[in-house]
Amino acid sequence: MKIGILTGGGDVPGLNPCIKVFVHRAIDAGHEVMGIRRGWAGLLNYNPDSSEDQSEWVIPLTKNTVRTIDRFGGTFLHSSRTNPGKVKPSAVPAFLQPEFGGSEAATVDCTPHVMRVLRYLGIDTLAAIGGDDTLSYAVRLHREGVNVVGIPKTMDNDVYGTDYCIGFSTAVNRSVEAINLIRTPAGSHERIAVVELFGRNSGETALISAYLSGADRALIAEVPFDVERLGRFLVEDRADNPSDYAIAVISEGATMEGADIVERGEADAYGHRKLGGIGQRTAEAIKEITGVDTLYQQLGYIMRGGPPDPLDRMVAMSYANLAADLVLRKDSGNMVALRSGVYTTVPLDSITTRVKRVDVEELYDPEEYRPKVVHQLGKPMFLY
């Protein structure tokens, strides 16, 4: 077989080890692997009719190609948020403009071109590593008859159908370390600190990071918060602290009661605008309400930077082996997963059936804005 592999959406630590193990397994089994660069953009921009070098979009992968990539974070194949099923006419590659660029619709479906590229390259099976957005297009291709397997990754840990996504542990690890580092300036200047973490729709990363770091309050995307009440809580927390400071952790997708989500810019191919800034607004509001100086820190990309921690490395490598098993068995249309601490597989289209969010009743106190664990027995390792 000739097998394609790609990474799409936001990068996370663990992608490179996953790619390396997958490539080794496939080659050892006698197959050829092609790396599709920049996610789905690689297939959208590849021109089968061109005689020019197109290694910008697709490259052969050998053991030597991937020999050292597992030592680093990110994805050496690069990534994008491209959705070939919804391409703005102005973003259609020049060579496809005669066929797809003249539409007056907001977006055009370039999937027929993607199918042609896959046939031209002779790719028998495609392994897609991504979150909801990247894997949703993998589902589309599967329904079009393409052999596809999925590998879930996202630092938000919010892909439905699996208990764990590559990147989550490292993001929590980075966040807990940073939250505890913030204690030094917050305590030295006797301030209230607000630390903003990634988390568009799911507050799991912020919740678990706040829980593990012992932050005073946590604001998550699933529960709008009353900033006046939050301010009162943080003043009390600060007064109870011998060092005279308090810390609140907030998801970038959190909202104040009666207010909209803080986002900016143009929507991407999956309908998402840039988030970020709710922490700063919250810090400014708390200072105005309480009169206490505040400190605002947005962690952002630091959470997904650098090499994976041992847990993410282990899961990434295990997912790669499991995905390779699916490919070698020609078992298409499935996604590798962890369920109740056991490696397994689920139908790929599971990701489109429901959304994965924090279990507020079990894990969060919406009145006190704090993590809570109602029952420990039977909970998985990360409590999700």
- What's the pLDDT tens digit per position in 73-115? 999 999 999 999 999 998 999 999 998 877 778 899 999 999 9
**CA pair distance 5, 265, nearest whole angstrom:** 30
Q: Would the pLDDT of 143 be above 80?
A: yes
Per-residue pLDDT, 29 = 97
44 in the same domain as 90: yes
Per-residue pLDDT, 381 = 73
181 in the same domain as 136: no
Per-residue pLDDT, 268 = 66
On whether residue 185 sits in a domain, the answer given is yes
Q: How many Cα atoms occupy the beta-carbon half-sphere of 83 within 13 Å?
A: 22
Per-residue pLDDT, 200 = 77
366 in the same domain as 348: no
Three-state secondary-structure class, residue 219: strand
* pLDDT bucket at 293, cuts 50 / 70 / 90: very high
**CA pair distance 240, 230, nearest whole angstrom:** 15
Q: Would the pLDDT of 274 be above 80?
A: no
On whether residue 210 sits in a domain, the answer given is yes
- What's the pLDDT tens digit per position in 176-219? 999 999 999 999 999 999 999 988 788 999 999 999 999 999 99
Per-residue pLDDT, 167 = 96
On whether residue 243 sits in a domain, the answer given is yes
Specify the CATH number for the domain of residue 20: 3.40.50.450
* pLDDT bucket at 164, cuts 50 / 70 / 90: very high
**Residue 23: both structure tokens together:** 């490539």
- The answer to whether 242 and 187 have CB atoms below 8 angstroms apart is no
144 in the same domain as 220: no
Q: Would the pLDDT of 383 be above 70?
A: no
- What's the pLDDT tens digit per position in 358-378? 889 999 999 999 999 877 787
Per the structure, the complete domain to which residue 364 belongs is given by 169-305+359-371
Share the mean pLDDT of the chain. Answer: 93
**CA pair distance 257, 243, nearest whole angstrom:** 31
320 in the same domain as 274: no
Q: Would the pLDDT of 275 be above 80?
A: no
Cα four-point dihedral sign 235, 238, 244, 246: negative
247 in the same domain as 158: no
Per-residue pLDDT, 269 = 62
Three-state secondary-structure class, residue 251: strand
Extended beta strands in the chain, E state = 2-7, 32-36, 58-61, 125-130, 148-152, 192-197, 217-219, 246-251, 263-264, 274-275, 294-298, 334-339, 342-347, 364-365, 370-371
From 156, 158, 216, 349, active-site residue: 156
Amino acid letter, residue 220 = I
| Burial class of residue 82, CB neighbours in 10 A (0-12, 13-18, 19+) | buried
Per-residue pLDDT, 263 = 64
Q: Where do the H-state alpha helices sit in 144-226?
A: 168-188, 204-213
8 in the same domain as 147: yes
263 in the same domain as 296: yes
- The tokens 């986002």 sit on which residue? 263
315 in the same domain as 293: no
On whether residue 378 sits in a domain, the answer given is no
From residue 36, how far is each of 21, 28, 118, 128, 322 by CA, in Å? 16, 20, 11, 10, 20
On whether residue 382 sits in a domain, the answer given is no
16 in the same domain as 56: yes
Per-residue pLDDT, 199 = 83
* pLDDT bucket at 277, cuts 50 / 70 / 90: confident
108 in the same domain as 52: yes
On whether residue 141 sits in a domain, the answer given is yes
Q: Would the pLDDT of 260 be above 80?
A: no
Q: Does 156 participate in catalysis according to the annotation?
A: yes
Q: Would the pLDDT of 286 be above 80?
A: yes
Q: Please state whether the predicted TM-score (pTM) of the whole model is above 0.95.
A: no
On whether residue 277 sits in a domain, the answer given is yes
Q: Would the pLDDT of 121 be above 80?
A: yes
Per-residue pLDDT, 31 = 98
- The answer to whether 10 and 131 have CB atoms below 8 angstroms apart is yes
Per-residue pLDDT, 52 = 94
- What's the pLDDT tens digit per position in 56-77? 999 999 999 999 999 999 999 9
Split into its structural domains, the chain has a count of 2
Per-residue pLDDT, 141 = 97
Specify the CATH number for the domain of residue 180: 3.40.50.460
Q: Percent of the chain having pLDDT more than 70?
A: 96
On whether residue 384 sits in a domain, the answer given is no
From residue 295, how far is each of 193, 203, 324 by CA, in Å? 4, 21, 47
Interacting residues of 94 by C-beta distance below 8 A, sequence separation 6+: none
Q: Would the pLDDT of 267 be above 80?
A: no
**CA pair distance 287, 225, nearest whole angstrom:** 16
322 in the same domain as 268: no
pLDDT, average across residues 109-126:
97
